[in-house]
């Protein structure tokens, strides 16, 4: 079974040592686990208000890596976000852009976020909204990053559901609650942890809206793959989650 990873990261994480997370080692890891394509962001963008230096560095780093697709970060909380979007949209390889509201300090249901989503949608660029990178209960004591509350996600989907955003980093309970809101969105499995995770998710979400996202190296890549490989769902449903949904979503 081949995989497309929608949630891969490279670089250094300031609060924990991450061995072998340079691009060469990441590429070897993908090959070893049959990950044919990975959409990758850099940790350099997480803690900087202006993510563009990190985006530019990422683009150069993955330019000649067949398996890696740059997934840039945009911060609609800064005044220059439209200029940043103009630059990112000029990159032919830009299929999607990631939002990090918790780390960049803006509300998901704000006017600027709405304007950003509308601008992305008008350009045919997919919207990825990342709830969390680390379980907030295990954050460094100096860091108080919390994922957006459920009400913010509902407000976000009021205007973003037409874009079918890919929401990453929500738990099973959070995804169930958000699904009850009745708005369109897709989700990854990076923080969905349960016995036979895919079967549980299928109880309230179509498998056509679930994608593989490892959140590697902050999560264990083998464990994320096993959520799909060892699931009791039929092979055709597991393949949708592993790669087919991402092929359709990103047009790769």
Among the listed residues 59, 72, 61, 69, the one whose alpha carbon sits nearest the alpha carbon of residue 30: 69
Angle between helices 150-160 and 111-122 (to 10 degrees): 40
Alpha-carbon distance of 40 to 92, in angstroms, equals 16
Cβ contacts of 85 within 8 Å, gap of 6 or more: 74, 97, 116, 119, 120, 123
What does the pLDDT read at residue 138?
74
Distances (CA, A) of 251 to 19, 79, 122, 243: 32, 31, 16, 11
Alpha-carbon distance of 130 to 109, in angstroms, equals 14
Angle between helices 81-89 and 111-122 (to 10 degrees): 20
| Domains (range + CATH), the chain | 3-250 (3.20.20.140)
Distances (CA, A) of 76 to 52, 140, 203: 12, 26, 34
Among the listed residues 144, 132, 146, the one whose alpha carbon sits nearest the alpha carbon of residue 187: 132
What does the pLDDT read at residue 17?
84
Characterize 54-66 residue by residue with b for buried, 16 or more Cβ atoms within 10 angstroms of its Cβ, and e for exposed. Answer: bbbebbebbeebe
How much is the pTM? 0.95
Residue 131 phi/psi, 5° resolution?
Answer: -75, -45
pLDDT in tens, the chain (252 residues): 999 999 999 999 888 888 778 888 999 999 999 999 999 999 999 999 999 999 999 999 999 898 999 999 999 999 999 999 999 999 999 999 999 999 999 999 999 999 999 999 999 999 999 999 998 887 777 777 889 999 999 999 999 999 999 999 999 999 999 999 999 999 999 999 999 999 999 999 999 999 999 999 999 999 999 999 999 999 999 999 999 999 999 999
E strands, the chain, in order = 3-10, 35-42, 68-70, 96-99, 126-130, 166-168, 186-188, 210-211
Alpha-carbon distance of 227 to 187, in angstroms, equals 14
């Amino acid at each position: 079974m081949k995989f497309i990873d929608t949630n891969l990261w490279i670089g250094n994480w300031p609060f924990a040592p991450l061995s072998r997370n340079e691009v060469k080692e990441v590429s070897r890891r993908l090959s070893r686990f049959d990950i044919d394509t990975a959409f990758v962001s850099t940790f350099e963008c997480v803690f900087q208000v202006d993510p563009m230096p990190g985006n530019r560095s990422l683009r150069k780093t993955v330019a000649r890596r067949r398996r890696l697709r740059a997934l840039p970060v945009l911060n609609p909380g800064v005044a220059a976000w439209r200029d940043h979007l103009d630059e990112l949209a000029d990159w032919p390889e830009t299929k999607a852009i990631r939002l990090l509201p918790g780390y960049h300090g803006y509300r998901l249901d704000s006017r600027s976020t709405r304007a950003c989503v509308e601008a992305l949608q008008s350009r045919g660029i997919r919207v990825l909204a990342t709830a969390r990178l680390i379980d907030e209960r295990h954050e460094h004591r100096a860091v108080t990053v919390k994922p957006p509350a459920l009400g913010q996600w509902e407000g976000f989907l009021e205007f973003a559901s037409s874009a079918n955003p890919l929401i990453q980093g929500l738990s099973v309970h959070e995804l169930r609650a958000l699904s009850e809101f009745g708005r369109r969105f897709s989700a990854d499995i990076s923080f969905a942890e349960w016995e036979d995770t895919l079967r549980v998710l299928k109880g309230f979400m179509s498998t056509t809206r679930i994608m593989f996202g490892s959140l590697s190296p902050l999560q264990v890549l083998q464990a994320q793959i096993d959520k799909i490989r060892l699931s009791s769902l039929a092979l055709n449903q597991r393949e949708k989650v592993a790669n087919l949904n991402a092929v359709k979503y990103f047009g790769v």
